[in-house]
A and B are shown apart, each in its own frame.
Chain A
Amino acid sequence: MAADQAAAPAASARAAGHGLPGAHPERAKHAVWHRLRRHPGAIAGAAVFMAVALAVLFGSFVHGVDPHYLDYRAKNQGMSLAHPLGTDNLGRDTFARLLAGGRLSLAVGVAAMALSLTVGTVVGVLSGFFRRLDGPLMRFTDLFLALPVLPLLMVTTMLFREPLRAALGLEAGIFILVVGVIGITSWMQTARIVRGQVLAIRAREYVTAARSIGARPWRIISRHVFPNALSPIVVAATLDIAAAIITESALSFLGLGFPSDFPTWGRLLYDGVPFLTLTPDRVIWPGLAISLTVLSVNFLGDGLRDALDPHATTHRAPVIRRK
């Protein structure tokens, strides 16, 4: 809280100093793209993430092996033409399983990001715009920030896995559960950042002007406040994807996430650990996939942050993750 009080004037000064994108939309967009291009890490990150996404989405058309097909006579094989990354102890194709797992991992990441972003943005906009809601909502956020996320995630998935599975089916139940718990426990940073931005925007002349011609709060929020608060939301979105992928794989690694029949990258890694001495590549490939994806998204997020906030280039406190 102390940090907030100190940071608030700095944030409003920054917002007032440079024209927020929106004053000249085209020029601002061009400037952002120009600054992003000078950030080699961000471009590389975007390229790698796109490549990973394309591979997991369309890879099965090129590599048409069924990830569930058991071939006991070809178990624990090394790399070959038929099985580019070898097979596991039941003779399933590692590369096909990696592609299928990646689809699930990325889906969890994107869905959890969407949920956490929605909650975070709504809470942030409401508490920044309506003074009366600010106190209660921020206390609520502080409460969530003090929750021990990993233990709670473990407990909730453990307790609600069976009932949700029974109600919604095997894959859908666990997917909704994991996405739900990750989304609900990761919106707080977004809410705080958005609130700060909205507080700064609310004090600007165009909001006063809109209010003086009788615009209703909802219209001011949707037409004036939200579009101008978009850049920190975009940055939070990228970083949230990375965080959600990590959290999901950590849960799966503890055996509390997805089951082996619908493995994500984390679960593949977990299933590979007992065979570490026999086939270490079963751990290496999913681990590399997670690391590469998260790394590329983080680089992209960093670059976007620098590009969208030119006054804070290169020296700006990164968001501290609680995990």
Chain B
Amino acid sequence: MLRYAIRRLLFAIPTLLAISFVVFALLDLAPGDPTAQLPLTIPPETRALIRESLGLGQPFPVRYVRWLEQFLANEPLNLVEVLLGIEIGDSEGRLRVSSWATRSPVVDLIAQRLPQTLTVVGVSYLVAILIAVPVGVFSAYRQYSVFDQVGTLITMIGFSVPTFFTGTVLIVIFSGVLGWLPSIYDTTHRVTDLASLGYQLKQMAMPVMVLALFSAAQISRFTRSAVLDTLHQEYVRTARAKGLAEPVVMLVHVLRNSMIPVVTVIALGLPTTFAGAIITEQIFRINGVGALLIGAIEGADIPTVQTVTFIFASLIVFFNLVADLLYGILDPRIRYD
């Protein structure tokens, strides 16, 4: 298991490098001039100087390696320094990936935006799991019952209806017609007392509902089929034949075994939810990482786009790794050679 884990971890490195190359090359070799948005009155010489100052003078491989160095060595070092409050070497002179639009380090921008995204994504994923797993289990246990039929229909709808449509419909209903919930998420809001906590919950309700519905649909579909698979196993029949009580059969024999694939799917789905948050943030005007990415794409702020996209890719690779390792830990039948 340990050898497998190490091999898997080592395999993640070339994957990440390849992805970073794809992301960097795609943006770097694309047509378009980063100074195109500047006023036309700037003379060409100054324009050339601006391009130089943005680091565009050097050939492509040099820029790629320097970006890698900044992102993979300088930024983590800086993060360690900030977290521990210590200084490692020449921390002032170390180059950081900086945004062309704001001139501040991209990682700092992400750190400003991350809490909003994490709150919404985290809470919605938690809600989704809490709803989806019991629904999936009960649907499978009472297969073809009314509950199962209705549940399957609802998950199919949640799976098929795009989040930007559910989001706008919720806004029409809860903000427009009923006027209960705010349609715009206020990220400057601070929770200080009970009333402000209430407002926070109110403004989180709709984005969380939208994201949770989509994730819950996927998880409960998967839970249902996993539990059904387990219910048809011989050892479940044996357990019942031994005269074990139904709760024991369900909780010990069925649930524990069927949760193995479900846990891995939950891990695999988390980066997907992050990407889904890009759309949700757009609907409810949440000032999160997704909004940062969209703003950077529209403003041709290439370093920010590269960094945010690469972080999304790292999340996927990381959670794939977590899912694979969890699968091996939870299921002793899986043997790696």
Residues of A with C-beta under 8 A to B19: 143, 146-147
What's the interface size class on B, roughly?
35 or more
Residues of A with C-beta under 8 A to B315: 148
Instruction: Flag if B279 contacts A253 (CB, 8 Å).
Output: yes
Known: A143-B19, A159-B30, A295-B156. A290 touches B162 (CB 8 A): yes
Interface of B is mostly: helix
A142 vs B19: C-alpha distance when bound (angstroms): 11
Instruction: Flag if A315 contacts B297 (CB, 8 Å).
Output: no
A6, A159, A291: residue with the most chain B Cβ atoms closer than 10 Å? A159
Known: A159-B32, A280-B172, A317-B261. A147 touches B275 (CB 8 A): no
Instruction: Flag if B160 contacts A283 (CB, 8 Å).
Output: no
* Interface flags, A311-323, vs B, CB<8A=1, else 0: 0001111101111
Residues of B with C-beta under 8 A to A256: 297
B31's partner among A160, A280, A318 (CB-CB below 8 A) is A160
A155's partner among B8, B26, B225, B229 (CB-CB below 8 A) is B26
* A283 nearest in chain B by CB position: B168
Known: A156-B26, A320-B269. A291 touches B172 (CB 8 A): no
A315 vs B231: C-alpha distance when bound (angstroms): 10
Query: Is there a chain B Cβ closer than 8 Å to A210's Cβ?
Result: no
Instruction: Flag if A158 contacts B165 (CB, 8 Å).
Output: no
B26, B160, B305, B324: residue with the most chain A Cβ atoms closer than 10 Å? B160
Query: Is there a chain B Cβ closer than 8 Å to A246's Cβ?
Result: yes
Known: A6-B334, A315-B225. A283 touches B26 (CB 8 A): no
Residues of A within 8 A of B (CB): 1-3, 5-6, 41, 142-143, 145-152, 154-156, 158-160, 162-163, 242, 246, 249-250, 253-254, 256, 266, 269, 273, 276-277, 280, 283-284, 287, 290-291, 294-295, 298-299, 302, 314-318, 320-323
A to B CB contacts below 8 Å, 30 in the list: A2-B327, A2-B336, A3-B264, A3-B327, A6-B327, A142-B15, A143-B19, A147-B19, A150-B276, A150-B279, A154-B293, A159-B26, A249-B164, A254-B279, A254-B282, A273-B168, A276-B168, A276-B172, A280-B176, A283-B168, A284-B172, A291-B162, A295-B157, A295-B160, A314-B228, A316-B225, A317-B226, A321-B218, A321-B272, A322-B275
Residues of B within 8 A of A (CB): 8, 15, 18-19, 22-23, 26-27, 30-32, 140, 143, 156-157, 159-162, 164-165, 168-169, 171-172, 176, 218, 221-222, 225-226, 228-229, 232, 261, 264-265, 268-269, 271-272, 275-276, 278-279, 282, 293-294, 297-298, 305, 308-309, 312-313, 315-317, 320, 324, 327-328, 331, 334, 336
5 cross-chain pairs, A with B, having the tightest CB-CB distances, nearest first: A315-B228, A148-B312, A287-B165, A159-B30, A295-B160
